[in-house]
Amino acid sequence: MTEEVPSAVPRQSSMSSLYMMITLLMFMVLFIPSLREALGMAAGVILEPLFAFNYNYPLYTFLATGLLVTLINTWARHHYTDWISMARMQAKMKAFNKVYREAVRKQDVNQIEKLKKIQTKNMAENMQIQSNSMKATMFTMFIVISIFTWLWIFLQTKAHYTLVAIPWSNVIELNRVQYLFPNWLLIYSAFTMPLSWVVTYIFKYMEFRKKVKELPAEIEAVE
């Protein structure tokens, strides 16, 4: 049991290093204008013919790019995430927490010590699942940063106008900063967050449905 602890440490260190690299890349793009502009212009070679809409409909432009980013992120996360293992681990942790709380309530020292060893193993398994899910970030973050950079350049310099009407306001300036973020980013988040949940649910439903269909064949193979 105790051998799981050292193996979990390198995985956690690798994930921390990945986060640091991604954060560093984001800050480089944000604070080095030449790098930001070069990345945005390169992305624009592909994105402008598809989503510029003759620079007349900025709202449609960033909603379309939001849909693209959501599909890329969700597909990559789905590809690298084992939803079955994740659901199994969640059920295991729920049962473990119930038993652990009961042991603490009864002050059963021996039981608590045994459960702590099991907890170490569960944490290592959970970290492995999360590490696999994080692989998607390595492949999508650069694409996402490129799209965001192009979108920022588009709204700052190329869009014919940035005043739009939305359901909760008659007129809103997309580049105006409110609550520390520009309006276009707030609208983008309001659109993409629920969309991401829906797309993720669809992918998970398809995955579980596929596994359920495979169960009879697996049972026959065992018998």
The model's pLDDT over 172-205, given as tens digits with 9 standing for 90+, comes to 888 888 778 888 888 888 888 888 889 888 888 8
Q: Is residue 108 part of a domain?
A: yes
Q: Is residue 33 part of a domain?
A: no
Q: Is residue 122 part of a domain?
A: yes
* pLDDT band at 47; cut points 50, 70, 90: very high
pLDDT of 157: 85
Residue 18 clears pLDDT 70, i.e. is over it: no
pLDDT of 222: 54
Q: Give 3-state DSSP helix, strand, coil % of the chain, rounded to 5.
A: 85, 5, 10
The secondary structure element, H or E, covering residue 1 is: none
117-121, 191-195, 217-221: lowest mean pLDDT where? 217-221
Residue 80 clears pLDDT 60, i.e. is over it: yes
Q: Is residue 24 part of a domain?
A: no
Q: Is residue 3 part of a domain?
A: no
What is the domain range of residue 122?
Answer: 38-207
Two structure tokens written together for 65 = 């790019």
- Sole residue written with tokens 């459960």: 115
Neighbouring residues of 95: CB distance < 8 A, sequence distance ≥ 6: none
pLDDT of 7: 45
* pLDDT band at 2; cut points 50, 70, 90: very low
Residue 218 clears pLDDT 60, i.e. is over it: no
Q: What are the C-alpha distances in Å from 131 to residues 48, 86, 164, 176? A: 35, 12, 41, 38
* Whole-number Å distance between alpha carbons of 165 and 128: 46
Residue 15 clears pLDDT 70, i.e. is over it: no
pLDDT of 31: 77
In terms of average pLDDT, the best of 46-50, 88-92, 111-115 is 46-50
**Under a CB-based contact definition with an 8 Å cutoff, are residues 141 and 22 in contact?**
yes
Torsion of CA 121, 125, 130, 133, to 10 degrees: 170
* pLDDT band at 221; cut points 50, 70, 90: low
More confident residue, 149 or 18: 149
Q: Is residue 216 part of a domain?
A: no
pLDDT of 45: 92
Q: Is residue 26 part of a domain?
A: no
Total domains present in the chain: 1
Of 101, 105, 137, 106, the C-alpha closest to 14 is 137
pLDDT of 13: 57
User: Which spans in the chain are helix H?
Assistant: 4-31, 33-51, 58-80, 83-106, 109-153, 183-222
Q: Is residue 49 part of a domain?
A: yes
